[in-house]
Amino acid sequence: MRIRQEIVLGIGGVRALAALGVEADVFHINEGHSAFALMERIRDLREKYALNFNEALEFVRATSVFTTHTPVPAGIDVFHPDLMRLYFEEYAKSLGISFEVFLGFGRQEPRNKDEWFCMAVLALRLSNWCNAVSRLHEKVSRRMWEKIWPKTPEVDLPITHITNGVHIPSWISQGMRENYDRYLGPRWIEDPDNVKVWERVDLIPNTELWRTHERARERLVAFARRRLRAQLARRGASSKDLTIADEVLSSETLTIGFARRFAPYKRAYLILKDIARLEKIITNEKRPVQIIFAGKAHPQDQIGKDLIKQIVQISNREKFRRHIVFLEDYDVEVARYMVQGVDVWLNTPRRPLEACGTSGMKAVANGALHFSVLDGWWEEGYDRDVGWAIGSGEEYEDEGFQDEIEARALYDILEKDIIPLFYSRGSDGIPRGWVEKMKASMHRLCPVFNTHRMVEDYWEMFYVPAAQRGFHFKENGWEPLRAFSAWRERVMYGWQQVSIKEIRMPELEEMEVGETCHVEAEIHLGQLHPSYVVVEVYCGILGENDKCVDRVIYGMESTQQLSEGLYKYEADFEFGEAGRFGLNIRLLPNHPNPESRHTMGLVVWG
């Protein structure tokens, strides 16, 4: 049962670390599967250090990182309240809270008793440091989870992004490694996110780089033949079919690779949309093309399994069987041969459903060129000098129409750009334009989309500040933590009295860019001191539905106490660009940790 697995992973994981004597300063939860670990940390802190629930909660929040990898709600684990009661009613008592409060931590709307318990929501509520895995995925994640912070604009939601990367040495061919060693020097391993190091890719002679890539393609073709023959033999294929397997593909033909999970949104079928047109492309005698597919479908994903069946059937047709191959049992070995040997790495997800994707990064490090929808990491990495984009980042409501449009674009780019560039050869047989594009791709993408840069981002943005916050909270027998917890409780209890009574500013239809505007507001804080809140002028250019597409924030200062709990705030500000602007006043808790200001979910608007 899924919930049992996640109890073992989360609660059991924390207890296993304790049994091993490992005292972690920061916990990083990847996806919601292990989120129960955060509740176990609270229970452990209460037991060891006699902290109350709120104190332990704040310490866990301050020292926990959560990374979401899923761009669709269907990929998130949720559990019915009755099932949660079976496993956690008694456990909640050990935390010092009621079971209903426990359930609220896993709900977007804590008081909605019909809402199921969501593991990702639990992780988001118990982590101050939350991120998606690409820039576009950050926007998707904010839209997915905006109900957790209902009064906070999307642009301010406490989910940032750190784009994934790949460990380049683990995925490149031996020949490419030797090229890097020879022309880039050892720093490509020691300092792989240094742009200056990758500029030296231009020093690799065109002939040497191309011959290295050709040898990798030759190895891929030989491997695919062996693999296909073994597949056919297991199914009892005839001697004729086994002989044909030894002749599929060509080591000199433009080779496109498509290898990944066969989830429906990844649209492996897109390149097969117009079979007649595809046939003309791949069987061209002067400029042929071949496609190698590999992947697996989830055992319960019938659509994915049917798609694999369709590809296998097409590859068995007489006109296609030497040009299209499907490799079964996709694993690391298959992946390495493919990313090292293909010329083009094809990726056709339905935007914006690809959280990041990393297979294309591995291919790029081997000199392959990326050809993809502008989704996941390619939305950040794409430039016409380094690869090709299908579409311009459009999103469609009509999926059938989207498939038609993007399939045509795919074929057009193949016919007009990719194939001509690959087969445009000099007297020495080298496709110089293609090789220049390979170099530009490696030079510009490899220093960005690698694990060294990714881990540095996590270290600088999350791990170090989270650990420092934890060290600070522990000082003087947890005194800073107890003070912060008391501050938070005071704000939470006093916030219901906070309101904006009046806003005063000149009524202007228009004003000049750079012209100063004065605004005043009367703010009722009740029992809270002005030091407990932040009052801001919030303005920005208005887009659809009169929502700010971007915003500029100016702090307001308390200039006068008008009466008991009532204060006057003032600010001068200016508009830095032309456009139709909206303006409002916003109150937030003056959180001691600025990056956590929105995590409390408390905000008052004018």
pLDDT digits (tens, 9 = 90+) for 177-203: 999 999 999 999 999 999 999 999 999
Q: Are residues 285 and 204 in the same domain?
A: yes
Per-residue pLDDT tens for 220-279?
999 999 999 999 888 888 888 888 888 899 999 999 999 988 989 999 999 999 999 999
Q: Is residue 491 part of a domain?
A: no
Q: Are residues 257 and 373 in the same domain?
A: yes
Q: Are residues 233 and 87 in the same domain?
A: no
Q: What is the DSSP letter of 557?
A: E
Per-residue pLDDT tens for 510-525?
777 777 889 999 999 9
SS3 514: coil
Cis status, amide bond into 153, omega within 30 of 0:
no
Q: Are residues 269 and 397 in the same domain?
A: yes
Q: Are residues 245 and 387 in the same domain?
A: yes
pLDDT at 372 (0 to 100)? 98
Count of structural domains within the chain: 3
Q: Are residues 269 and 415 in the same domain?
A: yes
pLDDT higher at 508 or 499 = 499
pLDDT at 10 (0 to 100)? 98
Q: What is the CATH number of the domain that holds 560?
A: 2.60.40
* Nearest CA-CA partner of 64 in 126, 118, 125: 126
Q: Are residues 547 and 581 in the same domain?
A: yes
Looking at this protein, which amino acid is placed at residue 166?
V
Token pair for residue 17? 């670390």
pLDDT at 325 (0 to 100)? 97
| pLDDT reading at 595 higher than 80 | no
Per-residue pLDDT tens for 520-576?
999 999 999 999 999 999 987 777 776 776 788 999 999 999 999 999 999 998 877
Q: Is residue 322 part of a domain?
A: yes
Q: Is residue 96 part of a domain?
A: yes
Report the C-alpha gap between 562 and 296 in whole angstroms: 68
Confidence of residue 112 (pLDDT cuts 50, 70, 90): very high
Percent of the chain with pLDDT over 70: 99
Q: Is residue 203 part of a domain?
A: yes
- What does the pLDDT average to over 374-391? 98
Report the C-alpha gap between 51 and 28 in whole angstroms: 22
Q: Which residues of 457-491 are buried (b: 16+ CB within 10 A; e: fewer)?
A: bbeebbbebbbebbeebeeeebebbbebbebbeeb
Per-residue pLDDT tens for 388-408?
999 999 999 999 999 999 999
pLDDT at 404 (0 to 100)? 97
pLDDT at 71 (0 to 100)? 86
pLDDT at 245 (0 to 100)? 87
252 Cβ contact partners less than 8 Å away, ≥ 6 residues apart: none
* Nearest CA-CA partner of 540 in 499, 586, 500: 586
Percent of the chain with pLDDT over 90: 84
Q: Are residues 521 and 468 in the same domain?
A: no
98 - beta bridge partners? none
Q: Is residue 493 part of a domain?
A: no
Report the C-alpha gap between 71 and 356 in whole angstroms: 9
Q: Are residues 211 and 300 in the same domain?
A: yes
* Nearest CA-CA partner of 223 in 145, 329, 309, 136: 329
Q: What is the CATH number of the domain that holds 374?
A: 3.40.50.2000
Question: By the 8 A CB rule, do 47 and 15 touch?
Answer: no
Report the C-alpha gap between 189 and 211 in whole angstroms: 23
- Owning domain of residue 595: 498-605
Mean pLDDT of the chain: 94
Q: Are residues 401 and 439 in the same domain?
A: yes
Q: Is residue 208 part of a domain?
A: yes
Q: Is residue 59 part of a domain?
A: yes
Q: Are residues 481 and 546 in the same domain?
A: no
Bridge pairing between strands 533-541 and 552-555: antiparallel
Q: Is residue 38 part of a domain?
A: yes
pLDDT at 374 (0 to 100)? 98
Confidence of residue 481 (pLDDT cuts 50, 70, 90): very high
pLDDT at 507 (0 to 100)? 76
Q: Are residues 188 and 250 in the same domain?
A: yes
Per-residue pLDDT tens for 168-177?
999 999 999 9
| pLDDT reading at 470 higher than 90 | yes
pLDDT at 408 (0 to 100)? 98
DSSP string, 63-105: TEEEE---SSGGGS-EE-HHHHHHHHHHHHHHHTS-HHHHHHT
